Amino acid sequence: MQLTLPPLSLYIHIPWCVQKCPYCDFNSHAQKGAIPEAEYIDHLLADLSQDLTAYQTAIQGRKIHSIFIGGGTPSLFSAEGIERLLREIQQRIDFEPNLEITLEANPGTAEAERFIGYAQAGVNRISMGIQSFEPEKLLQLGRIHNSQEAIQAVGFAKNSADFGLRSFNLDLMHGLPNQSVEQALNDLRQAIALAPPHLSWYQLTIEPNTMFYYRQPTLPDDDELWAIFDQGHQLLTAAGYQQYETSAYAKAGYQCQHNLNYWRFGDYLAIGCGAHGKISYPTGEIYRFSKTKHPKGYLRGEYRYQQDPIELADRPFEFFMNRFRLLEPTPKAEFEAYTGLDRKVVEPIIEQALAKNYLKQTACDWQITRHGKLFLNELLEMFLE
């Protein structure tokens, strides 16, 4: 079996943050004392070198399509550290021309003042975790910035455009504890007024092993959540934002290229504590892998935690679980190219999904319908069967 290899991205995880937010289930660790920045960067580079050797036959000749530095709070690292990291990565593997390099940042003033430095280091997209502009909600969410700092951070991002920053994203949550429809929409109006090229607007969900899981807050009911989404979607559309993914809206030409590669079943190397990656071989094998979660183990040089093959039987679900998050059509040819399977394998399930109005199709592609978006879990479960 031969696979057509998809684009290859790189995810870099920096695990430290000032304090752990009560809703957060990401692999993040509250900062205690000085962060070992230089030492951690040494290990990130060693981790990458190890992967480039281990996956040599899968990577040979491929270039990095996009880079995403996530966390934790990567903006706790200095611009000089980020510059060194990116420079030494490029010494190990080539970059595609004009690749997107995103760095997640806290909108607190100290980090935001570094935006020009990050842009000069090679970062061309900043993603800021605003979450809300309401002081009470920020407190409930454990955020350490205030709304004025968030507004100032957007100003820093805009001022960094002259130094190479091409885009910025605001993360905003809705469905917060005791949040009214009007409060949620007011948050959204304030975000839109700041004119970010990209907005990630997602509903708060209670995840296991978070503080909110053990002390569950009162969240809006289903009718309120639907009103928030429906009216919010109209606000965003009227403001010139296009929804291209379940929780992502962008002005024309500003979709997040790194996330698009995830959802299009692309490949991505992953370095850093708890980072998850996916790699395809031209000979047909596809693997998912993850790295050691805790900084102590990682800083001892224990990088690889787990690696599992994506078996042929699981590939339809894996492919569509990603692809159907996007509103764009799914090329049938890409299903065959990236999974190594004939499209006939999924035709019986596709026929059922068409009958339920979950999907529509042309000769060349499948596309999820608005109705299908409402029943996304049911649609995906069909591919598990």
Instruction: Kindly report, residue by residue over 270-310, the tens digit of the pLDDT.
Output: 999 999 999 999 999 999 999 999 999 999 999 989 999 99
What single DSSP character describes residue 163? G
Contact present, 258 and 68 (Cβ < 8 Å)? yes
Residue 28's pLDDT band, with cuts at 50, 70 and 90, is: confident
Instruction: Kindly report, residue by residue over 130-189, the tens digit of the pLDDT.
Output: 999 999 998 888 888 888 999 999 999 999 999 999 999 999 999 999 999 999 999 999
Contact present, 289 and 277 (Cβ < 8 Å)? yes
Domains contained in the chain, CATH given: 8-261 (3.20.20.70), 326-384 (no CATH)
Calculate the alpha carbon distances from 178 to 136, 207, 226 in Å.
10, 18, 15
Please identify which residue in the block is written with the tokens 């979709």: 255
**Sign of the CA dihedral 187, 246, 25, 123?**
negative
Instruction: Kindly report, residue by residue over 53-89, the tens digit of the pLDDT.
Output: 999 999 999 999 999 999 999 999 999 999 999 999 9
Calculate the alpha carbon distances from 211 to 89, 141, 215, 292 in Å.
36, 10, 6, 23
Give me the DSSP letters along 54-96. HTHHHHTT--EEEEEEEES-GGGS-HHHHHHHHHHHHHHSPEE
Average pLDDT, the chain: 94
List, in order, residues 6 or more apart from 61 with CB less than 8 Å away: none
Six token digits for residue 119: 């842009």
Torsion of CA 375, 346, 316, 342, to 10 degrees: -150
Instruction: Kindly report, residue by residue over 218-260, the tens digit of the pLDDT.
Output: 899 999 999 999 999 999 999 999 999 999 999 999 999 999 9
Query: Span 22-32, mean pLDDT?
Result: 77
0.85 surpassed by pTM: yes
Residue 349, pLDDT above cutoff 70: yes
